[in-house]
């Protein structure tokens, strides 16, 4: 089978490798769609430190299950989560699942940009293989993981009805955030970006108003950092202003199975729409809002960094 590997910064190779063998409790999935996350691009650029496994926003069809797997069967359409917490340690007991020591140790094998991937028993046993309702396409399903990260972030921000919210950056996840926030507050939602086509989409998807960040400055009281910064990234802060305005800084990393199940429900109920589909419908012509599907082929990655950053899903099993 073919699979994508990061061999060195900016060097991605598509290789012919054996289909993973199953051990007890494992599941083999035929990948149908796999999203390119911003972190995949950062890994390729070397911004997240050396190495890394590519592809984690995956949907597919179960090809094979190990003998002792009884909850799933071949032919089932699923999403699979790559990182899974232990659900037992102090961090897990406090709801900080994504801080669990086990979380980042787990992954799918060999990666999400592969014709087939193995979901290990550890993940399977903790509910990381989730069946898809028939109304969800595989492309939509590949967007469940990033949408789940948005759901977790909104929970962490503890948004109350009536709060006014600014979403900075209206790429695929910013636009997902706006749609989710529309259900979380009756207050005003603002979106900011520097690309006019994205600002227009922000309004279509529920922002009350949008701000071109090249033209206006905005102030906030609670700042939620979402999306992986480059390794070691820093930002100068006016600490006295932080103090006197009682500004809260929060961050939110990744998601767990409960948020994935909620995201599946919200997409099934058409309460959120993913931007790749919408941007095709909206026929945005800006060069910055292309929503191409990038196909992969042996030995090369037909993927342009700038357009991939704007796409919500990119790899499809041929």
DSSP letters for 263-293? HHHHHHTTS---HHHHHHHHT---GGG--PP
CB closer to Zn ion, 100 vs 276: 100
For the segment 92-131, give every residue that binds Zn ion (CB under 5 A): 92, 100
Considering only the C-alpha atoms of the chain, give the largest distance between any 2 of them, rounded to a whole number of Å: 61
One-character DSSP codes across 149-179: HHHHHHHHTT--TT--EEEE--SHHHHHHHH
User: Where do the H-state alpha helices sit in the chain?
Assistant: 38-45, 90-93, 121-124, 138-142, 144-156, 172-182, 196-204, 239-244, 257-268, 275-282, 305-310
Pair 307, 203: CB distance under 8 Å: no
Our CB check for Zn ion shows the closer of 103 and 296 to be: 103
How many residues touch Zn ion under the rule CB under 5 A: the total is 6
Minimum CB distance to Zn ion, residue 150 (Å): 11
The residue (of 74 and 95) whose beta carbon lies closer to Zn ion is 95
303 binds Zn ion (CB under 5 A): no
Is 88 or 293 the residue whose CB approaches Zn ion more closely? 88
Least distance in angstroms from the C-beta of 218 to Zn ion: 26
Question: What is the distance between the alpha carbons of residues 71 and 142, in angstroms, rounded to a whole number?
Answer: 22
Which range of residues in 2-10, 32-40, 158-166, 307-315 is near Zn ion by CB under 5 A?
Answer: 32-40
Closest distance between Zn ion and the C-beta of residue 307, in Å? 18
Distance in Å, CB of 88 to Zn ion, minimum? 6
- Cis before 110 (ω within 30): yes
CA-wise closest residue to 150 among 119, 182, 125: 182
Site membership for Zn ion, residue 260 (CB under 5 A) = no
CB of 233 to Zn ion, least distance (A): 17
Which of 86, 166, 213, 223 is close enough to bind Zn ion by CB under 5 A?
86
DSSP 8-state symbol, 99: G
Task: Tell the smallest beta-carbon distance from residue 256 to Zn ion (Å).
Answer: 10
- 85 belongs to the binding site for Zn ion (CB under 5 A): yes
Query: Considering beta carbons, is residue 96 or 185 the nearer one to Zn ion?
Result: 96
Residue 37 vs 167, nearer CB to Zn ion = 37
Please tell me the distance from the alpha carbon of residue 131 to that of residue 134, in angstroms, as a whole number.
9
Spatial separation of the C-alpha atoms in residues 269 and 225, rounded to whole Å: 28
Q: Which run of H or E residues covers position 28?
A: strand 27-35
**One character per residue 36-55, x = contact with Zn ion (rule: CB under 5 A):** -x------------------
Smallest separation (angstroms) from Zn ion to the CB of 149: 7
Tell the smallest beta-carbon distance from residue 255 to Zn ion (Å). 9
Toward Zn ion, which CB reaches closer, 32 or 40?
40
Question: Given the rule CB under 5 A, which residues bind Zn ion?
Answer: 37, 85-86, 89, 92, 100
């Amino acid at each position: 089978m073919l699979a994508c590997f990061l061999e060195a910064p900016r060097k991605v190779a598509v290789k012919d490798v054996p289909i993973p063998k199953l051990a007890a409790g494992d599941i083999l999935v035929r990948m149908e769609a796999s999203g390119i996350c911003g972190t995949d691009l950062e890994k390729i650029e070397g911004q997240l430190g050396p190495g890394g496994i590519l592809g984690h926003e995956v949907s597919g069809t179960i090809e094979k299950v190990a003998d002792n797997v009884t909850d799933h069967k071949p032919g089932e359409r699923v999403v699979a989560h790559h990182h899974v917490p232990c659900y037992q340690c102090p961090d897990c007991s406090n709801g900080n699942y994504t801080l669990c020591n086990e979380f980042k140790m787990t992954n799918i094998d060999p990666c999400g940009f592969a014709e087939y991937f193995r979901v290990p028993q550890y993940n399977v046993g903790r509910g990381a293989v989730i069946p898809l309702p028939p109304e969800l396409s595989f492309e939509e399903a590949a967007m469940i993981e990033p949408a789940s990260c948005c759901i977790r972030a909104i929970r962490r921000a503890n948004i109350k009805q009536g709060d006014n919210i600014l979403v900075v950056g209206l790429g695929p996840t910013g636009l997902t955030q706006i749609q989710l926030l529309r259900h979380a507050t009756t207050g005003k939602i603002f979106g900011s970006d520097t690309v006019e086509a994205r600002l227009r989409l922000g309004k279509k998807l529920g922002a009350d108003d949008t701000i071109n960040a090249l033209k206006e400055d905005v102030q906030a009281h609670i700042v939620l950092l979402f999306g992986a910064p480059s390794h070691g990234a820093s930002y100068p802060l006016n600490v006295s202003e932080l103090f006197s305005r009682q500004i809260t800084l929060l961050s939110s990393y990744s998601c767990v199975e409960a948020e994935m199940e909620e995201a599946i429900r919200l997409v099934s109920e058409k309460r959120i729409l993913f931007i790749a589909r919408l941007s095709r419908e909206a026929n945005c012509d800006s060069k910055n809002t292309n929503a191409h599907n990038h196909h992969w082929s042996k030995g090369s990655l037909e993927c342009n960094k700038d357009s991939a950053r704007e796409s919500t899903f990119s790899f499809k099993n041929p």
